[in-house]
Amino acid sequence: MRRLHYYLLSIISISIISCSGDDSNEKQEELVLDDNVLTYNEELISDDLILNTPLSENYASIINKKGEKVKEWEFENSLGMELKILPNSNLLGAFQVEDQAFNFGGGGGMFKMLNFDGDELWNYTYADNNHLSHHDVEYLDNGNILFAAWNRITKEDAIALGVNTDQDIFPETIIEVNPETNEIVWKWNSFDHIIQNLDSSKTETFGVIADNPQKIDFNYNLQTSDPKVTNGNIMHCNGLFYDEKRDVIFLSILQYDEVWVIDHSTTQTEAATSSGGNYNKGGDLIYRFGNPSASNQSGEKYFYRTHSPNIIPDNYPGEGNFLIYMNGNNEHPFSIIYEFKLPEILSFDEQPEIVWSYSNPDLYYDRISSAYRLSNGNTLICEGDFGIWEVTPGGEIGWKYQNDGSTWRAHGFEVNSQELINLD
């Protein structure tokens, strides 16, 4: 029954006053909103256009705040979650291959670059019996493509390093591909950075977890009754963000209720070790936050499932701060948008500071969803099973749009932005 009062506003006509020439020459102009626009306060909202990305469908659209679709695409393949508009107006999307060997929700296996009209310029497949790209993709300034992938580790190989499992597991890898050659030029594999305290005979990985927050406890919640973990999907990285200034990658790890940060400045060889790179930690974690219990630390838990990790862009209110959608779960049944100020030097001894947050009794979905800052200081929130919100820094709702189905993410673009230069 929630939001019933909004559904009554199915068709809205708002009279606004516009002036042209002499101030005395006022005329009435009727603003007609689409049925899906449930809240519209022109004084509070930005004029950004919205890239509206549905969940696992073969189409996407750009809408304005009146709810009009100003651009639509239809694709040959269903989306494997993320779709981006690049600064050159091309589209970069994760798409689903057919007959996937395994899929834990969010699987894709293919990436495509399209021009603004939707014509294919490039494609790349990362899918076989042991590997599958999933969820997210980033475009780097050097033109390379960064993405997350599941990597099958056999039960025997996992047990040999002290992982307490009775089946194959599928931890995360992060891959960088050069689209000019389709060559993998950099890779990070979480399996290279295990710590465990269950089997002292496995000296390569045995240690005190609380003393080694840079390592990953592969046995954390592995024996839980949650089917999303017991099927071998022990991490589930559902979002990644590349921070060019620090040359690091932020990873949203659903099953650990954490954000992990890894060093991208390493060589591929160094990424498999614990030394090298700008932070001299190799591929070990250089920072983590959200759930101290995942590394046997003390402190407050902030995250109960998260999506869409991102840094607020330069020249936007809050620039440099970290924004994330905290979904919530049965234990914590409401969503929160968090804005954190990160420490100047990423150190396990210093946790980020909450500088802004937003919650609402009507805002809750424990899957997908996103939150991004707009240029006017408002925050664009995608509530995955409902639609899109725009809220002010003071928490006022300026705009609400109800989608016809579930939505992966929503991105805002200024109407005169470089990305939309080809939009008439």
pLDDT range class, residue 69, cuts 50, 70, 90: very high
pLDDT over 60 at 7, yes or no:
no
Q: What range defines the domain where residue 356 resides?
A: 46-420
Report the candidate in 395, 324, 391, 374 with the shortest Cα–Cα distance to residue 51: 374
Residue 165, CB-side half-sphere exposure with 13 Å CA sphere: 29
Judge whether 220 and 226 are in contact, CB under 8 Å: no
- Residue type for position 136: D
> Which CATH number fits the domain that encloses residue 158?
2.130.10.10
- Residue type for position 423: L
What is the per-residue pLDDT for 24? 40
Measured on CA atoms in the order 57, 62, 65, 68, is the torsion positive or negative? negative
Query: ∠ CA 389-251-325 to the nearest 5 degrees?
Result: 20
How many folded domains does the chain comprise?
Answer: 1
Share of the chain above pLDDT 90, in %: 89
Residue 26 placed within a domain = no
Contacts of 62 (CB under 8 A, 6+ apart): 49, 50, 51, 52, 69, 70, 71, 72, 413, 420, 423
Residue 232 placed within a domain = yes
Residue 16 placed within a domain = no
Structure tokens at 43: 């004084």
What is the per-residue pLDDT for 314? 97
Contacts of 73 (CB under 8 A, 6+ apart): 59, 60, 61, 91, 114, 118
Q: What are phi and psi of 191, to 5 degrees?
A: -65, -15
Structure tokens at 2: 């929630």
pLDDT in tens, 20-49: 344 444 444 688 999 999 999 999 999 999
What is the per-residue pLDDT for 223? 64
Judge whether 264 and 242 are in contact, CB under 8 Å: yes
What is the per-residue pLDDT for 14? 37
* pLDDT, averaged across the chain: 92
Residue 25 placed within a domain = no
What is the per-residue pLDDT for 12? 37
User: In terms of DSSP bridges, do strands 216-217 and 194-195 run parallel, antiparallel, or are they unpaired?
Assistant: parallel
Mean pLDDT of 114-132: 98
What is the per-residue pLDDT for 27? 43
Residue 38 placed within a domain = no
Please give, one letter per residue, the 3-state secondary structure of the chain: CCCHHHHCCCCEEEEEEEECCCCCCEEEEEEEECCCEEEECCCCCCCCEEEEEECCCCEEEEECCCCCEEEEEECCCCEEEEEEECCCCCEEEEEECCCCCCCCCCECEEEEEECCCCCEEEEEECECCCEEEEEEEEECCCCCEEEEEEECECHHHHHHCCCCCCCCECCEEEEEEECCCCEEEEEEEHHHHEEECCCCCCCCCECCHHHCCCCEECCCCCCCCCHHHHCCCCCCEEEEEEECCCCEEEEEEHHHCEEEEEECCCCCCHHHCCCCCCCCCCCCCCEEECCHHHHCCCCCCCCCCEEEEEECCCCCCCCCCEEEEECCCCCCCCCEEEEEECCCCCCCCCCCEEEEEECCCCCCCCCCCEEEECCCCCEEEEECCCEEEEECCCCCEEEEEECCCCEEEEEEECCCCHHHCCCC
What is the per-residue pLDDT for 424? 73
Residue with tokens 């005169």: 416
What is the per-residue pLDDT for 389? 98
Q: What are phi and psi of 176, to 5 degrees?
A: -120, 125
pLDDT over 60 at 4, yes or no:
no
pLDDT over 80 at 319, yes or no:
yes
Judge whether 92 and 84 are in contact, CB under 8 Å: yes
Neighbour count for residue 5 (Cβ, 10 Å): 10
pLDDT over 60 at 65, yes or no:
yes
pLDDT in tens, 298-313: 999 999 999 999 999 9
What is the per-residue pLDDT for 217? 97
The per-residue b/e assignment along 211-223, b for 16 or more CB within 10 angstroms, e otherwise, is ebbbbbbbbbbbe
Structure tokens at 420: 């939309």
Structure tokens at 395: 């928490």
